Chains A and B, each alone.
Chain A
Amino acid sequence: MSWFKKPKQKLSSEQKKELPEDVWDKCDECGEILYSRRLAENRYVCPECDHHFRIPAAGHIDNLTDDGLEEEFDLELSSADPLDFEDSRPYPKRIRQAEEDVGPGDAVRTGRGEIDGRSVHVGAMDFRFIGGSMGSVVGEKVRRLATSALDAGDPLIIVSASGGARMQEGILSLMQMAKTAAALEQIDEAGLPYVSILTHPTTGGVTASYAMLGDVILAEPGALIGFAGPRVIKQTIGQDLPEGFQRSEFLLEHGMIDRIVPRPEMKEAVSLLLHHMT
């Protein structure tokens, strides 16, 4: 699994001695030292505590499909800088840095593949690309994915992981929410199934558009899912948030998602759903 780059961890010199490169990983959640190959075989879910490690878009696509993408769409799309946006760094520099660190394709990879021999259109977000934020490229790629699914009559599956709309493209980022929702309206009208998969974290403009519009909404265990971020809510209401607030289990309890599915079982769950919804 070449897509899985080890997270850059700050290790104390003591830990460094304990963790020879590329052989061992440490679970962020329970602290267990894990044999890297075993972790990979378990789809980057800690065998000890079930913590789901954050994985790139390609990892989710691998996990869901028979043999990856048969055709990748719109990889050439790259963010422009419509506002000449500059904070501590100019926006184009941030983009170039993210492309260097993560790869091309902005914060979502899209294409056509198969699940148990059934042709599907699939998209997966990559949180490493500027926090999985949705600017024009993410919105446009999701829209084109939906339009292509419509033309092919394929089911649509999107794996979300996003901090929300991308500030650096201002109002144009906000409009991507309308754009993607409009594309899903067409999918709905055409009677095609759309399965939305939520991973840690899915918040803001992505949650308030395509992520919550699935015919069926699945979530990985323990994922943070919400409209507003916990920090903003805490600031606004001036009190502590309840235990487990905005986690997958909380959303299931409140009727906002259909099922919580561990990553190693995700493909089977989606496949069975598509069996019933096609």
Chain B
Amino acid sequence: MAEPLLLEMKNIHKRFPGVYALRNVSFELRRGEVHALLGENGAGKSTLIKVLGGIYEKDEGEMILDGQPMKLNSVEEARAMGVSIIHQELVLVPYLTVAENIFLGRETGKGPFVDRDRMLRETQRALNELGLNLSPTALVAELNLAQQQMVEIAKAVSFNAKVIVMDEPTSSLSDKEVDLLFENVRKLKAKGIGVIYISHRMSELQQIADRVTVLRDGEYVATRDVRTTTNDELVTLMVGRQLDHYYTRTYNPCAETVLQVKNLNSARVHDVSFDLHKGEILGFAGLIGAGRSETMQAIFGLDAIQSGSILLNGNEIAGQKASAILDAGISLVPEDRKAEGIFPGMSIRFNITLKVLRDFIRGIRVNRSQEQAIADRYIKELRVKAPGRETFMGSLSGGNQQKVVIGSWLASEPKVLILDEPTRGIDVGSKSEIYAIMNELVKNGMAIIMVSSELPEVLNMSDRIVVMREGRVSAILDHTEATQENIMQNAVSI
């Protein structure tokens, strides 16, 4: 039986100077429904959410929440009507407690004095209601990402939200944490709250969503019932064409060893050993905090090594500085694109060429044409969609930024490429392109290490899979024997 309608957005139009961001988009949400919003980056999902949240003003169209027409001019009005948005980048104050964050800006009390006991009481009640195991007096800085997200959810509930929007809530969570999040989302459903769920991960939709609406290029494409729709159909709706090879992978015959890590120890990883062969993609699976990124940073010289050996083509490189390791032929595309990978205020050209300045700057002589040639080469090879090489990095979509970042690491022509979460937070079209690029690179003899928290990605792209748990290697599986189940068994402690 269909629940009554909670929210209706009808024929929404939104124009920006030179861009038609939303063209006649309609969307509806029922009570207790999880309605996913799907589309490539730039399809108009965020714009639609910002219109709903009062951040943007719509140019045309109608919005009705609980039978009340919504005329929004500000975020406060949207919130007062019952719309809460949980952004991808959480906006909590790290050095305040859970309770203080939940009541931020609406502290209760007499006059200038905050009624701390009441705030703690009400926070505890909101947490209990959701069955969250958090202390109201814990500092947010001490919580992990998943717990911080729960604080955001509790905050939304304490606002008496009718509609909660979650923008890519799982992009930085491990599988176990995702399960916890979904449990909480189901509790919201049970309370009759409508949830708008934005995610690039198709597999999640089957688990959590009831219906899904697909947008493409600012236009409404279709709304489907999740249970009766396959992932392939959804992908086709999103990109408007058949993605015949979502995962591209041709396996190469086993070749010589390029990188050999033996009994590597650092403050955060213990006794890590593995081999990497030419033309191979070696996947690294495990929960968040299992030590995968830490292993990579130790290999790349960013984390101090306590003992162990790292042989690159037979040469010991353990303990060298990052710049020396880069020169030796290892590149590391870091996990957190925004914080560790890009210079948003600079051009694509600056970003791509930063690691190979020596190739075209001698003293004060800059070989401009050489510099431009390097930039253009990787813009072309990685199919970066941008007006030109001088375009600001910050104005590109996530997928294109990631391609530029990968390009900047390929520019040093490495023998070993380490990709840490190469497709996090980017759209399916770009993902598929990045998979194709990886396949091409290994075909040409490169060796790739791919750290990923997305099991389907690890399973479909890797030759072999290293599973880590609590800073140690718990298994190394061949792609022929690896399954979601045996990876997870090795990833969680028993």
A and B form one complex: no
Q: A-contacting residues of B (Cβ < 8 Å)?
A: none
Q: B-contacting residues of A (Cβ < 8 Å)?
A: none
